[in-house]
Structure 1
Amino acid sequence: MQHLKQRLVSLDFFRGLTVAGMILANNPGSWGHIYAPLKHAEWHGCTPTDLIFPFFLFIVGVSIAFAIGSKKELPETHSQLILKSVRRMLTLFCLGIFLALYPKIFTSPIEAFKTVRIPGVLQRTAIVYFISTIIFLKFTPRTILKIMLGLLVSYWILMTFVPVPGIGYANLEQETNLAAWIDRNLLTEPHLWKAVRTWDPEGILGTISAIATGLSGILAGILLQRKDQSDTEKIARLFSSGTLAVITGLIWNFIFPINKSLWTSSFVLYTSGLAYIILALCYWIIDVKGYKRFTKPIVAYGVNAITVFFVSGLLPRTLNLIKVTSADGNKTSLLTYLYKSLFIPYLSPYNASLTWAIMWLLIWMCILWIMYNRKIFIKV
């Protein structure tokens, strides 16, 4: 457990907002009835839902800087910190694989492993966390910035200039880009995103630029810990850096489009810039001005972020395993039965779907509020 007084409340609030947004986006009553802001962009572009994962990786980076920043100048502690980060990476990666296997692993274990999706949100988070930790420990802030920019430029070159085997030209189409080709050949089709099985939004090559997102968070964390600058100066630098990143991302978008599935370099700059601006605003209101009372329900999400992400992924799958008899005499899952009974008769399809998602948001808020008040903070 980690004592709350040692934490940056604005960071926990930002993390909580991000995870709450994830709960809202991931739990519609019907995937066929979702309001536009709660959808991912079909390909190029960026919706509010597309901001959730990059914000989370950005926050991972900020958290690294705060968690081990005091030990960075103590080389004798690095081996222990790296070993700890290896264990955490493996834990996160295995949790992600388990989510991909569940519940099939208990009914058809052999088939489950044959078709398990290897990439995923927790898997990418694990890799970004580990590599970002190593870079933070071993390099200066200036070098970290150079590495981040180097990763973004290298990824842009790979995706837009390197020919794709079997295609013959570099492109950014869904199934014929270089990242999709690498995923199909290294991971093979049965282990990719089940919606298409031809490419994966959390694939191998895109993890290069995702690491840059984590490093952008590390740089923000380093800035917030500087003792030679006032709070006003820190906030001004966060705002200015964020604005510059957003503008640069929008300009780069003309030749390397903002795209979450590809995690393009322009997407990294655009989303990281927005994260800088939001963190600066949260830091000013919550930690500098001291307005903290309103933050507690959201902070409750933030201090147990991985827990709620993991368990909220298991619960719907579990409810789908339980079969009940509906009013028409047919067997249906408990999840579907509850949704159709509680909301479908009374609301339009889109409002019913949204209300169902809000219900899950509030249920988890109650659970996490109880955990928060009892000081139950589960660390992975």
Structure 2
Amino acid sequence: MGYGRSGILLIALFVSVQGSVTDKLKFDEALLTVSNYLTEPILLLYVSDYCYQCLPQPLLTLPSGPGTQPVNSSIIVSSRYALSVQVVSNSGNMTPLCSWEHLYEEHGHYLISVHYLLSEQNTRRVLCQETVTRPPTNCYLPLLVAFVILVGVCGLYHLSVYISRLACFRRLQQYLCKRLSFFSKHVETSEDNCGEQSKVPESRRLYSLDTFRGFSLTIMVFVNYGGGGYWFFEHAPWNGLTVADLVMPWFVFIIGTSVALAFNAMLKRGLSRCQLLYKLTWRTCILFAIGVFFLNYGPADGPLSWRWARIPGVLQRLGFTYFVIALLHTCFHKVQLGHGESHQWSAAVRDIVLYWPEWIFIIALETISLCLTFLLPVPGCPTGYLGPGGIGHYGKYPNCTGGAAGYIDKWILGAEHIYQNPTCKELYKTTQPFDPEGILGTINSVLIAFFGLQAGKIILIYRKYPLSILKRFLCWAILLGIISAILTKCTRDEGFIPINKNLWSLSFITTLSCFSFLLLGLMFYVIDVKHWWQGQPFIYPGMNSIFVYVGHSILATYFPFQWEMKYWMSHYELFIQNLLGTSIWLCVSYVLFKKKFFLKI
């Protein structure tokens, strides 16, 4: 069925004003115009497809059309997630007249015509017809441009390395070096200074671990600065995973691996367990102090007030996790680990059997966490609730955000001292504060650090057999992946324990530990076994992680890391701003590396 003359005039009028309306659209926004041809008022309700079991929310209200002329109204909608829209009568009958599901793409203009359709039996039904009056823009072009530039830079770097290794280039380098040495009156010029350098003994340092840490930190800086405004560079509203959800667990995993390697080296150098206890306690206190007094507040927050001061935080969680894992490993560490390759059956589980007290402690700790999560009575909420509250679960539990995790934080820390703007607030319309660095989640962060500790033990026990390290990493990744599949039923929301970064759920821990074993194993093979890559540029921030993390957090609102945006029409300017800020910290960490400055706590 066509629009008729009035519909054609409407589209023409709509197209004529597109320019002025488009100027008001920012990135991740589209324009939706609805024309009501019906003789009754209508109400549009919507549900975001990312919002699990959510109550429909009002989107637009239109009165009945006067005669043959429609009533028109426009609204700006989000283009991040697909929307399910229903048209119902605004006269009290909530039966859907028509419905549709659509992902409205960035800067697209869409016209929905709601009118009657006569059938051959002369019965009327309502038809909702959609027309795209302005095509959407490609919001992923900035990513493509950045990728092409990155590939070009990497290509030029590898080309320069290849040229520098050519025989003719080496002869030219030797000739120039000798000439410069002659003019500088350096009579004794060794070959080490002019080309053919003697081999330096390989360091026992695990460069893949530094690279993994730097890789995680680089992504963390980028997503903390905004990630170009892309939804997948921001934290998931509740269940599910995005790129931003990966980096913090990776960092916690690396803490555990670093504890195994560093404490083994310090004990071999003769440090006593009491000295280790002093060092780990001091480091924990410093991390807590930096997190509470520097990173939770900024110039825009005004004078610090205990009335609203937030107690949890990223560094606080890292400090507590480090303290528990380091204290546990200090108490039960074995200095003489022996060789990992053996024909005895016990060799297959050597890295587990040697540390059975640690396993008992971790299993007991996780059991306590699960019991609190699923058995603790929460006033006004179902026992074991893991949802976001608000309009989720059809609005049955609006004040139950986070279930037992949120209740424990508010009970122990106070509602004013936890995070007031959780990621679920916008999508699920929640009103309760909830802290993603809360108490129960911190207990689970100890578990992922323990898996990292296990990776460090594997490296120490099988250090002479790289293939055995890779095999055991793969076995752990497969085992944890199977556990995740069972817990989640391979779905985002329907599993026994969904993947949830806000709660740091058990499935989130097993999934990210699986990824960590795979990624660390890949880097270990490429960097430390085959020496195909030296870890640049990620190895530089990886060796100065505390400096980069604290620095990027404190200076985030200052130029050149942030400036007043002029072009909100696309992701380009914000993406460039965030890439520039991240690149600056990579350059700073490189300069510090060349100056041999490494901030340690």
For the Cα contact (< 8 Å) 1:371–1:377, is it kept in 2?
Answer: yes
Which position in structure 1 is the counterpart of 2:540?
A: 300
Which position in structure 1 is the counterpart of 2:499?
A: 258
Q: Report the alpha carbon displacement of residue 75 of structure 1 after superposing the two structures with TM.
A: 10
Does the C-alpha gap of structure 1 residues 57 and 242 become closer, same or farther in structure 2, counting only changes over 3 Å?
Answer: same
Which of 408, 415, 422 aligns to 1:182? It is 408
Which position in structure 2 is the counterpart of 1:315?
A: 555
Does the C-alpha gap of structure 1 residues 159 and 298 become closer, same or farther in structure 2, counting only changes over 3 Å?
Answer: same
Q: Report the alpha carbon displacement of residue 242 of structure 1 after superposing the two structures with TM.
A: 1.2
Which of 56, 61, 69 aligns to 2:264? It is 69
Q: Report the alpha carbon displacement of residue 40 of structure 1 after superposing the two structures with TM.
A: 1.0
Does the C-alpha gap of structure 1 residues 68 and 351 become closer, same or farther in structure 2, counting only changes over 3 Å?
Answer: same
Which position in structure 2 is the counterpart of 1:323?
A: none
1:349 aligned counterpart, secondary structure: coil
Residue 371 of structure 2 is aligned to residue 157 of structure 1: yes
CA distance in 1, matches of 2:299, 2:284: 23
Q: Report the alpha carbon displacement of residue 199 of structure 1 after superposing the two structures with TM.
A: 1.4
Which position in structure 2 is the counterpart of 1:24?
A: 222
CA distance in 2, matches of 1:75, 1:370: 33
CA distance in 1, matches of 2:300, 2:309: 9
CA distance in 1, matches of 2:286, 2:408: 25
CA deviation vs aligned residue, 1:261-306 (integer Å, no higher than 9, x gap): 101111111101110110000001100001234x231100100111
Which of 294, 298, 304 aligns to 1:102? It is 298
CA distance in 1, matches of 2:369, 2:556: 36
Which position in structure 1 is the counterpart of 2:20?
A: none
What one-letter code is carried by the residue in structure 1 that aligns with 2:290? L
For the Cα contact (< 8 Å) 1:245–1:272, is it kept in 2?
Answer: yes
Which position in structure 2 is the counterpart of 1:371?
A: 592
Q: Report the alpha carbon displacement of residue 319 of structure 1 after superposing the two structures with TM.
A: 5.2
Which position in structure 1 is the counterpart of 2:313?
A: 120
Q: Report the alpha carbon displacement of residue 190 of structure 1 after superposing the two structures with TM.
A: 1.7
What one-letter code is carried by the residue in structure 1 that aligns with 2:224? N
CA distance in 1, matches of 2:439, 2:267: 29
What one-letter code is carried by the residue in structure 1 that aligns with 2:545? A
What one-letter code is carried by the residue in structure 2 that aligns with 1:306? I
CA deviation vs aligned residue, 1:196-249 (integer Å, no higher than 9, x gap): 562100001211111111111101001001147611011111012112112212
Which position in structure 2 is the counterpart of 1:88?
A: 283
1:279 aligned counterpart, secondary structure: helix
Q: Report the alpha carbon displacement of residue 177 of structure 1 after superposing the two structures with TM.
A: 0.4
Aligned residues: 351
Q: Report the alpha carbon displacement of residue 41 of structure 1 after superposing the two structures with TM.
A: 1.2
Q: TM (normalized to structure 2)? A: 0.55
Equivalences for residues 40-59 of structure 1 within 5 A: 40-59=235-254
Which position in structure 1 is the counterpart of 2:466?
A: 231
Which of 377, 401, 420 aligns to 1:194? It is 420
CA deviation vs aligned residue, 1:319-352 (integer Å, no higher than 9, x gap): 59xxxxxxxxxxxxx9342x43xxx28xx52233
CA distance in 1, matches of 2:447, 2:516: 13
What one-letter code is carried by the residue in structure 2 that aligns with 1:129? Y
1:116 aligned counterpart, secondary structure: coil
Give aligned-pair identity as a percent.
Answer: 30
Structure that is richer in helix per residue: 1
Q: Report the alpha carbon displacement of residue 6 of structure 1 after superposing the two structures with TM.
A: 4.7
- How much is the aligned-residue C-alpha RMSD, in angstroms? 2.4
| Bigger CA radius of gyration | 2
Residue 209 of structure 2 is aligned to residue 11 of structure 1: yes
Structure that is richer in strand per residue: 2
CA deviation vs aligned residue, 1:1-28 (integer Å, no higher than 9, x gap): xxx9452100000000000000110112
Which position in structure 2 is the counterpart of 1:173?
A: 387
Residue 209 of structure 2 is aligned to residue 209 of structure 1: no
For the Cα contact (< 8 Å) 2:308–2:417, is it kept in 1?
Answer: yes
CA distance in 1, matches of 2:600, 2:270: 25
What one-letter code is carried by the residue in structure 2 that aligns with 1:163? P
CA distance in 1, matches of 2:255, 2:226: 26
